[in-house]
Structure 1
């Protein structure tokens, strides 16, 4: 493929429009900074906030699109890891922007990660099982991979939400405990990635793709793909970064306006974390449903459970580090009700994905748990 043909295939009209919209919006906000710094009328505030959120979602779709291209080129689990890491990084950026913005946001990380957990493991998985189970009732995920995900998630979520209840001071880790948790979570997440990309990578592939037990391991396909398609991979990676940067730059203004808008409404603080989770995972939700419709149930697990492992594995160390550097209190301890819902979700996930078939009834059970969580949070 010639260089001009490669550029045309990567820099499509949609990609260029997303770039122009993202960077143009950032430029417009810079020009309007003096006006935005004043007390905006409520209608103007909500219109501005809606515009910024729309741009962030459009750019996030662009990031997911490029990550999907890389995923298809690299294959699982490498490709899906690129996608889940991209989404997790966007969430960490948005949460960090809120924490570093004005106002008190002691629980923003807890609320966001909890919302992500319930959205991914119940809402997204539930919809995927309902639509995928009807079209492909004989498909199921790779049980070994799902069990590995759940094992890591149980530890990460227990450390994040349950441990501060017992060891924390008013729901927050003391500095020494926070440093210990940062180190242990980073080590656990790194060891998980090494196993996922190394000796146990077959556990995260679609059922039927596992290599024969006695066969010699194949030559590194990723190395061959990188050598053969290096220009395309580099171009798509650069485009992914160029689409992600406006999200980073716009997140500060979004955090300030969101804080002001929710304060005027008198809305609960937890709503901010839920909104961030919904913004971040909308593109990946669509990708997951498409995978379910195609009968790729292990890809559904990789996208959902892999994204949650990456989110928890990156968010917890990031917010605790920000708290230590800035002196902010980071409250992670969850309520008994949410801990119960989270425990039920993990148990239901284990039962669902260890079954021999993907059943819509199991998806309905996940959806019911999400409705319960939404009602208890908002009401």
Structure 2
């Protein structure tokens, strides 16, 4: 991760979060003309980029694999906040928003980010090299949580439709938190070496020779700006919510496509960071980002929406349809075959990208 150690007051990563909060204050709860909506969208996009930049600064200070964890959790906080704000007043169509967004995040991370990074790493170094122990543990955690939270509700009978009863939802939320906590402990303490980058020559990388780590003062400054940027992102997304939903409706797309838009929005900057790491022969860091984000998306979103469901109107639909369950199953199967050898060729990257393309096509035309 390459980060500025001492950002100046006039640097864009400092100015954008502050200006975004100002724009949020000026546009909150108001009917906006098209020109203003475009301006708000620009500030939203740049605020997301600024948030990820400051997360990278903090991550660079604490090192790997803590760095990937900081970035993944930061992005997931944005995702959870967007889901809750859009669900709060989205009406009946928002009942499945959490499911659609979490599943979109899983497909984008496990197929899009993972496939793109494997492709970039393999094209540059002939093969992309990573630790199968750490990556396999992450993939197994994602598969388990996705099944518990998104597949089982389709087959349970205690509640009508693809949703959990209250005891089942409580179990899914608790299991998500416990398994995510266990994964974080494994990644950062018990088996930290399984998640450290490894070069194509087989050497473990314990630091980043491309830049000097930021000072503690710079990291704390970025941590404060990260919080400001996250507040701006959540608020501006709420301002943009009616436009997103109207745009999806006008385009004739299913209402579930709103979840895809949210996932694409919050994961785009992380995709850039992951591809950048893969281009520097840090494929393990890229996979930490991809699978860590998928894990955080399920492990943090499901408990959050479970708690929020007690005061939010309407049902909480979590169960996937048959088509999406097939996509999830083949993603796990292909991912397992990719991870086991610890080395991947461009073919593996292409397979994952093909699965992402299939998901997007079916999201547009179910």
Pair in the same fold by TM > 0.5: yes
Aligned-partner Cα distance in 2 for 1:12–1:262: 37
Q: Is the 8 A contact 1:140 1:355 kept in 2?
A: no
Within the candidate set 109, 113, 121, 1:120 is matched to 109
Match of 2:181 in 1: 190
Aligned-partner Cα distance in 2 for 1:134–1:306: 24
Match of 2:70 in 1: 82
Over aligned residues, Cα RMSD in angstroms?
2.3
Match of 2:263 in 1: 277
Aligned-partner Cα distance in 1 for 2:349–2:204: 25
Aligned-partner Cα distance in 2 for 1:120–1:26: 29
Match of 1:14 in 2: 12
Match of 2:193 in 1: 202
Aligned-partner Cα distance in 2 for 1:307–1:180: 22
Q: How many residues align?
A: 350
Deviates more, 1:19-28 or 1:180-189: 19-28
Within the candidate set 163, 167, 174, 2:165 is matched to 174
Q: Is the 8 A contact 1:67 1:82 kept in 2?
A: yes
Q: CA deviation at 1:156?
A: 0.6
Q: CA deviation at 1:148?
A: 0.9
Aligned-partner Cα distance in 2 for 1:310–1:12: 33
Q: Please, what TM-score do these two structures have when normalized by structure 1? A: 0.86
Q: Map of 1:1-379 to 2, 5 A cutoff?
A: 9=7, 11-30=9-28, 33-36=29-32, 44-45=33-34, 47-104=35-92, 105-167=94-156, 168-207=159-198, 208-209=203-204, 229-379=215-365
Aligned-partner Cα distance in 2 for 1:278–1:342: 18
Aligned-partner Cα distance in 2 for 1:303–1:339: 24
Aligned-partner Cα distance in 2 for 1:83–1:16: 18
Residues 1:141 and 1:263: Cα distance change in structure 2 (over 3 Å): same
Aligned-partner Cα distance in 1 for 2:5–2:186: 35
Q: 1:297-351 CA deviation, whole Å, 9 max, x = no partner? A: 1001101001110111011111121112324311111111111111111111121
Higher-Rg member (1/2)? 1
Q: Is the 8 A contact 1:206 1:296 kept in 2?
A: yes
Q: Is the 8 A contact 1:101 1:255 kept in 2?
A: no
Q: Is the 8 A contact 2:114 2:286 kept in 1?
A: yes
Q: CA deviation at 1:205?
A: 0.7
Aligned-partner Cα distance in 2 for 1:34–1:28: 8
Match of 2:209 in 1: none
Q: Is the 8 A contact 1:137 1:357 kept in 2?
A: no
Q: 1:24-56 CA deviation, whole Å, 9 max, x = no partner? A: 3213204xx4544xxxxxxx45x5444333322
Aligned-partner Cα distance in 1 for 2:176–2:12: 38
Aligned-partner Cα distance in 2 for 1:48–1:126: 36
Q: Is the 8 A contact 1:112 1:277 kept in 2?
A: yes
Q: CA deviation at 1:58?
A: 0.7
Q: Secondary structure at the match of 1:252?
A: helix
Q: Secondary structure at the match of 1:324?
A: coil
Aligned-partner Cα distance in 1 for 2:351–2:31: 48
Q: Please, what TM-score do these two structures have when normalized by structure 2? A: 0.89
Q: 1:261-314 CA deviation, whole Å, 9 max, x = no partner? A: 434444311110010011101101111111111111100110100111011101
